[in-house]
Structure 1
């Protein structure tokens, strides 16, 4: 299998963490690309018509995308139960919340990186941050018991989302008022899979 990826991508990090946690990391060749929302790498476009990473090219079937589909596939392949039936809806909702944080954070980053300076729209950036702040607060208020439970895909997604906030939007201070989540993230970041995939 081949994973179309880029090291700074938090969605790629989710898949890499899952590969390590499922023991499948040695079965996948990493194909690193450089791509942006306005300049899609040809390898990305060939793997995923939407033009987004990651994409998992398989020998035995169609290419898979996006990160949630890939992570679910890897878990099923390895039989590791990162999507446990007993709490499947909670796990999926937590994963969706974390991905929503990433969607909003990436929109903020792209607004400054991709648009010409004179076209940057500050109210848009602040609206995206409100989504991030609400979601982080909701996880801190409602999801700590889940996060402290057995490892699942929701935890991996939250860990990667918070890592991306530190990487690209550290000055925004997501930790303020979210002490329980901050403590959890500090401990979760010590996992070998998180250390091995930390953004540079």
Structure 2
């Protein structure tokens, strides 16, 4: 009986060690996701040095954009208003004379289902609310929500949805969702999210 108990304890011990290692690996992998960490208006080289994703230098005296060399998430570097997106495949960062301009990205690596789309946009909105961002132009473009009305609107290929958020006088975000014809999955509903970040460009 003691041998069985001892064996059982060993198995439990090994199981706990394995579980701890797996959790640690998952945390490490999440932390190692390539990211572009930036603040609109800062020097392009500051962003390059801070980011773990590779991106080319800016061009002196030019107004243009660059694309990260791999899928990458966006991290807005701001002690009060910062937020983080999921990994993005479409990700453009504009520059003007070697300074960060506007950012336009799709915080996903492929077209996704409506449920997954709402998870992404609601998580972003939660981060903004907690950070003190405020939705603007809510009469015509209210924040996204997991409601039958929003489901119906987003499923309408001619409508989609958009929401605008502002962080004090520092940043604005446009969050846009549209239904997408995914030829790899022609019988499934798929969606694309577009996120644009810049210094405020739309009057409140």
Structure-1-length-normalised TM-score: 0.27
Structure with greater proportional helix content: 1
Structure-2-length-normalised TM-score: 0.26
Which structure has more RCO (C-alpha within 8 Å, separation ≥ 6)? 1
- When Rg is computed on C-alpha atoms for both structures, the one with the higher figure is 2
